[in-house]
Amino acid sequence: MPKTFYITTAIDYTNAPPHIGHAYEKILADVIARDRRLRGQDVFFLTGVDQHGQKVQQSAEKAGISEKEFAETLTEKFLALWRKLGISYDAWAATTDPQHKACVREILTKLHSEGKITRASHGGHYSVRQEQFLTDKERGSDGTFGPEWGEVVYLEEENYYFRLAEHKGWLLDFINNHPGFVTPAFRQVELRNAVEKISGDLCISRPKSRLSWGIELPFDAEFVTYVWFDALINYISFAGYGADAARFNTLWPADHHVIGKDILIPAHGVYWPIMLHALGVPDDKIPNLLVHGYINLGGNKVSKSLGNVVDPVQLAERYGAGALRYYLMREASTGQDMEFSEERLIARYNADLANGLGNLLNRTLNMAARYRGSVLKRPASSPLEEAARHAVRLHAEAFDKCETHLALEAASGLVVRCNTYVEETAPWKLAKDPEQADRLDEVLYSLAESLRILAILHAAVLPEASVAIFDQLQVSSVPQYSGAGWGGLLDGHALGAPSPVFPRLEA
């Protein structure tokens, strides 16, 4: 059975409502998943929520409700947003799911029985926000822990530890021998530098005396599992690890873990590959990491702690899900930070979609109706054919690298060429000269066929709008990349009537 394309995102932490950074990550993963479906591949897209941990417990206590109720209330907000934004995930990972809990316990039991988890006493500074013990390397030049760690307290307690440091040499070799492990490449360099500094083991438990909201250790009922050790396992627990070997072998390894740069080190770049290696997963089954940057506002990362949260629900309601999806995928260079601007969202949408693609669709259908009763005559060749082939090629190359901004740039280039072609050929003048009848047929067909291809090129980012364009072109099939070759509209094809697909946005 051929391997299914498996893409997953970092599961969102249910301690605060979703913000624009969450939306960007999920849209990026959704667009990549849709791109693969358009290629005709089977796709498994997993996303979800991490519902355990000390912050959830503290927030629930403050709200006067149970941890389960608190987590589920916030979970529904994430689910509602993903529905609004058209996120086409295939499975939902919630760490309170019995399937996930069973998998976590199975893995803990295996590692403990093999001597890879041991019990020890430890004293040190603990970040409540990040739910981890800190070391001197986390201190600033003045000897204090920075604001990114939130409240830091000193704790001394017994816990269980996963033997992390003994795998340091393996991870360094793996990084050196797998240059595509992390995308973009400069993040892999950062990761290697961080791995060089590994010196201790990973505390994978919390005493129930201070944290009860978690998965109980199968070998010691007085402790629960550290939230990061628990959460990372979702990538394999919901893919069938330990429960469905056939399913797991079809899915694994994940082709892309889509994560933010803030959780590359240490969670996904250090803990996760070492956990898999300790479980006996071979090197060729270690998944790739696709690391995106921050969505910034005024130069600062959008986050609840900074008080500069941008609400994606309000943006989607104000401008439409398509406008938000297009703006984030067109403006953000995968791997780099992006400065969010509502004014820029409006300007980009109006320029590329309302004035560009939408205007091209409207004028093409109107001219075809006025001059040819909406019926096309297919010419032997077209001046736009090579431009369309070039756009399709650039679009595919960009998606191969998960560079959505370049894929949309390629499509936008074809839109610009088509609109320029209208001005160059002036169909309204050709229609007045009977001797230019063949030339007019060539122009109208070339524009309509380019629009059909453009609908396909936008389908991963704007699925609803692409279907709407197909409807107006009266093309019945669902957009697929296999249909992006020139000449899909047959001789005598009748076009439909225009209806605004991209109405202009106002501030």
Average pLDDT of the residues in 416-435: 97
Stated as kind and residue range, the H or E segment containing 159 is strand 152-162
Q: How far apart are CA 490 and CA 480, in angstroms?
A: 17
Whether residue 131 has pLDDT greater than 80? no
Question: What's the rounded mean pLDDT across residues 22-47?
Answer: 97
Residue 263: pLDDT above 90?
yes
Stretch 353-375: mean pLDDT: 98
Determine the pLDDT at residue 148: 79
For 191-204, what is the mean pLDDT? 94
Which pLDDT belongs to residue 308?
A: 64
Averaged over 236-258, what is the pLDDT? 96
CA–CA distances in Å: residue 418 to residues 5, 6, 300, 355: 34, 36, 39, 12
CB 330 within 8 A of CB 352: yes
More confident site: 127 or 461? 461
Q: What is the pLDDT of residue 309?
A: 72
Contacting residues for 267 by C-beta, under 8 A, at least 6 apart: 228, 232
Length of the chain: 507
pLDDT band at 304 (very low <50, low <70, confident <90, very high): low
How many whole angstroms separate alpha carbon 318 and alpha carbon 324?
10
Cβ-based neighbours of 114, under 8 Å, separated by 6 or more? none
Mean pLDDT score, 240-252: 95
Kindly tell me if the per-residue pLDDT of 306 is higher than 80: no
User: Does 351 score more than 70 pLDDT?
Assistant: yes
Query: Tokens in use for 190?
Result: 């950062």
Q: Is the pLDDT of residue 307 over 80?
A: no
Q: What is the average per-residue pLDDT within 307-321?
A: 89
Q: Describe the strand order of the beta sheet including 205-207 as a list of residue ranges.
A: 205-207, 220-225, 216-217
Determine the average pLDDT of the residues in 115-121: 95
So what's the pLDDT on residue 478? 78
Residue 248 C-alpha from the chain's centroid: 22
Compute the distance between CA of residue 482 and CA of residue 291 in angstroms, rounded to an integer. Answer: 29
Q: How many CB atoms lie within 10 A of CB 393?
A: 12
Please state the rounded mean pLDDT for residues 76-89.
97
Please say if the pLDDT value at position 359 is more than 90.
Answer: yes
pTM listed for this prediction: 0.94
Mean pLDDT of the chain: 94
pLDDT digit string, tens, across residues 366-425 = 999 999 999 999 999 999 999 999 999 999 999 999 999 999 999 999 999 999 999 999
Q: For position 471, what pLDDT does the model report? A: 97
Domains contained in the chain, CATH given: 350-483 (1.10.730.10)
Segment 327-351 mean pLDDT: 96
Cα gap 324→314, rounded to integer Å? 11
Q: What are 16's two structure tokens? A: 């605060």
% pLDDT > 70, the chain: 98
How many angstroms separate the CA atoms of 304 and 310, rounded? 9
Q: Tell me what pLDDT residue 303 has.
A: 63
By the 8 A CB rule, do 224 and 216 touch? yes
Query: Among 33-42, 124-133, 411-420, whose mean pLDDT is lowest?
Result: 124-133
